[in-house]
Structures are given as structure tokens and as C-alpha cells.
Amino acid sequence: MASFPTALGLSAEQTEDVVQQAGLAPSLHNSQPWRFRLSEQVIELHSDPRRRLPAADPADRELRLACGAALLNLRLALEHFGVRPVVALLPRLAGPTSLAELRSGGPATQAPEELALYQAIPKRRSNRRPFLENPVPAAHRHALAAAVRREQGSLRTMTRPELGSLEGLMHRAHRMQMADVRFRDELAKWTGRPKGAAEGVPAAAAGPLPEPQDQWVLRDFSGGQARVRVPGKDFESDPLMVVVCSNHDSRLDDLRAGQAMQRMLLTATALGLASSLLSAVVEVEETRDELRQLLGGGLYPQAVVRIGYGSPTPATPRRDLRELLIDD
Ligand SMILES: Cc1cc2nc3c(=O)[nH]c(=O)nc-3n(C[C@H](O)[C@H](O)[C@H](O)COP(=O)(O)O)c2cc1C
């Protein structure tokens, strides 16, 4: 097979690693909605419209969050190989799928904290299982908030009284989505995937079957194949639930929020914390708006994340790297 194409002065192996790290980002239903065009001068990040999820994400907001997460991985990987990335978001005059362009801004030395995030990329997982009751220490919570701030976002930690309202909103959003046959069909298509599938959520990573008493993890990602939970293995009673927010609600904000979300998820991974996203409440317009009011009305909620100490969960698959390249 021909060697991997090169970009920004990197070797073929380094360029391949950079694309691989980008492709390890989280995405709704593991849809992996990104593509890359490589040249010596620029790495272009594009959305892949064939991987849209119109029922869950009609405005492509979460698609851009996922691509923002891939962009953060690209930045960390480039720095790892000594290239300081200069990023242009939504470059003008580029085509409709173009989300970002990365060029070399000269040599870079990666700081130890950034190296820890680069090393966390392949270890991060969406963990849908019950977490331990152990609380997340305040220093860790501050580190998560700082990670989001660094990418121009805000992190809101839900207080106990707010958690009650959030739970109600989540259940309402879940019921509304499951009443929509288009949503159910889309979810069925992307979940409970057999071993060997390169996309979608495999049954092994789906977590246990949701049960009527469950407060937070309501979506079944296993296509009904997951095991019924061991009696007594309920979800943690006092979860750390955080919301990644942006100041505005534009396409640019989505890309920034995706980078903020990913920096927070990688920070959590590096601190030994597990995480999972719970998106129904921000996918249904009505409940997203109510969550926004609950948070004070100023910020736009982008991603709701449950964080804690969890048991290991298997990795989800990724597509062949060459399929991610735009080759023209
Ligand atoms: C924007 C976005 C929304 C997501 N929403 C959910 C969700 O509501 N529930 C869930 O269990 N996982 C959710 N996920 C996690 C994806 O299913 C997961 O990233 C994907 O299956 C890849 O697995 P990994 O994160 O373990 O690499 C979401 C991910 C992203 C980026």
C-alpha cells in the first residue's frame, strides 16, 4: 500500500498519527462525521454530510461539536510532533463543508499538561455504566472548569436543586424523541452494532439496559441486546452533572464548544475520571431552551456530561484512516 500522505512538514507516520488521533474524537452515535484534506501547507477539516443525523441533530449542531472535538485532538497531536498549529475556523471562501484550516505557525514544544491530554486521547471512552458513589474532589472539578474556559466556553455544575429540574427535562426530552419514529429508526440504525462494524455504537459499549427507576441514562444503545443489570447495581445517587455552555449559538460557537468539551473530557480522563454525554435534553429545542433558563438565561447549553469514577468500558470502533481523507 502507498505510504500515508504527508502534511505540514511531518513524516508519513506522524501525519497518520495526527489523523488517527483526530478520528478518535467522540461523536453522536459514533457517526464520525469528519473528513480531512491534507497538503504540505494546510490540513483542512470538513464535515461529512453523508453522516448527518437529521432526526437527533437537525441543525448539525452536534455534528459541529464532534468536529470541534476532532479539531482539538488535531491541535494536540500537531503540537506533540513539534508543530504549533494556527487555526482558522470557518475559513471564508471555502466550501460549505469546510470547518477549519490548520497551518504551521513554526516549531512548538508541548507542555507536560498538554502531553497528558494527548496521551489521554486513546484512553477516553463514553462510559454509560453506573459510577461509584465516591465524590469528585473540588480540585478536579476546578480543573474541568478551567479546561472549558481555556477554549472560551463556560462550565456549569448542576446544583442539587437544579439536578431535580434537569432530571425532569431529560425524561421529557427522551419521551419526546422516542415518540418520533424517525428518531427511533435512526437510533436503531446506529446502535447495537455487531462486532466488526467500523461505526455506530457496539452493544458491548452500550452499558446496561435502562430500567424504569433510572434517573439519567435513559437511551438504550444496545438495540435491546444489553444485559439486565445485576440487582443492586444502580446508578450513583449524587452524580456530578456538568453542562458545557457557549456565549452565543452560532456555527463558530459550536466548533469552539466542541473543543471545550473535548479538552474537558481529556482532562477528566487524565485525572482518572469516567464520563458520558446525555444529549436528549439539548437535542429537543423546547427542553434545551428550558435548560438555558434554568442556567440563568445567558449561556447556551451545548453538552450535558455525567462525570465520576467508573469501571472500564470497551472502546468503540473507528473507520479506516484512508476513508477519512478527501483525495482529489
Ligand atoms: C455531541 C455528542 C452527543 C452525544 N450524546 C450521547 C448521548 O446522549 N448518550 C450517550 O450515551 N452517548 C452520547 N455521545 C457519545 C457517543 O455515543 C460516543 O462518543 C461514540 O459512540 C464514540 O464512543 P467513544 O466516546 O467511547 O469513543 C455523544 C457524543 C457526542 C460528541
Residues 6+ apart with CB under 8 A from 248: 300
Q: 4: exposed, middle or buried (C-beta count within 10 Å: 0-12, 13-18, 19+)?
A: buried
Give the number of the atom of ligand 1 that is nearest the alpha carbon of residue 280. Answer: 8
Helices (H) and strands (E) in the chain, counts: 9, 10
CA–centroid distance, residue 278 to ligand 1 (Å)? 8
Q: Whose CA is nearest to atom 1 of ligand 1?
A: 62
Q: Rounded to the nearest 5°, which phi and psi values hold at 65? A: -60, -45
pLDDT in tens, the chain (328 residues): 789 999 999 999 999 999 999 999 999 999 999 999 999 999 999 999 999 999 999 999 999 999 999 999 999 999 999 999 999 999 988 899 999 999 999 999 999 999 999 999 999 999 999 999 999 999 999 999 999 999 999 999 999 999 999 999 999 999 999 999 999 999 999 998 888 899 999 988 888 888 877 877 788 888 888 877 766 667 888 899 999 999 999 999 999 999 999 999 999 999 999 999 999 999 999 999 999 999 999 999 999 999 999 999 999 999 999 999 998 8
Domains and CATH numbers, the chain: 12-124 (3.40.109.10), 138-308 (3.40.109.10)
Question: Is the complex ipTM more than 0.90?
Answer: yes
Label the pairing between strands 201-202 and 191-193. parallel
Q: Looking at ligand 1, which residue's alpha carbon is closest to its atom 31?
A: 27
The span from the CA of 301 to the CA of 277, in Å, is 13
> HSE-up of 133 (CA within 13 Å, CB side)?
3
What is the distance between the alpha carbons of residues 66 and 72, in angstroms, rounded to a whole number?
10
Length of the chain: 328
| Ligand 1 contact, 129 CB (< 6 A) | no
Pocket test for ligand 1, best of 279, 281, 283, 288 (most atoms within 8 A of CB): 279
The rounded Å distance from CA 275 to ligand 1 centre is 10
- The protein residue whose alpha carbon is closest to atom 12 in ligand 1 is 277
- What spacing in Å lies between the alpha carbon of 125 and ligand 1's midpoint? 9
Measured distance CA(264)–CA(70) in Å, rounded? 13
CA 116 to CA 196: how far, in whole Å?
30
